[in-house]
Amino acid sequence: MAELIKEFRGIPRHIAEANIRSLPDARFVNGAYVGDGWRITLQNLTPVTLGSLTLGRVRFVLRANTDETVTRVWELLAPSFLRGGG
């Protein structure tokens, strides 16, 4: 089994979920998003405080049957998780 684990800061969970739901084969089953040969789980992590700014954190875990499937799914999702800024 192949997997990709990422931690996102400052991206609200509901936005992450909307991004995942945009995948053509995504459906929500037993607390996870699943598709053809893949499964994504999200976990809220303890927020991080930087000075007066507090950022929420979400742990993203993509598991799939093959490395190719992980790559395919992440290539579809990556643009929606990229953030501009300095």
pLDDT in tens, 22-52: 999 999 999 999 999 999 999 999 999 999 9
Query: pTM value?
Result: 0.90
The answer to whether the beta carbons of residues 8 and 55 sit under 8 Å apart is no
Residue 54 CB partners (closer than 8 Å, separation 6+)? 47, 48
Residue linked to tokens 């953030």: 83
The answer to whether the beta carbons of residues 45 and 53 sit under 8 Å apart is no
Return the pLDDT at 84.
Answer: 57
Return the pLDDT at 16.
Answer: 95
- Domain 2-81: CATH architecture, name and number where available: 2-Layer Sandwich (3.30)
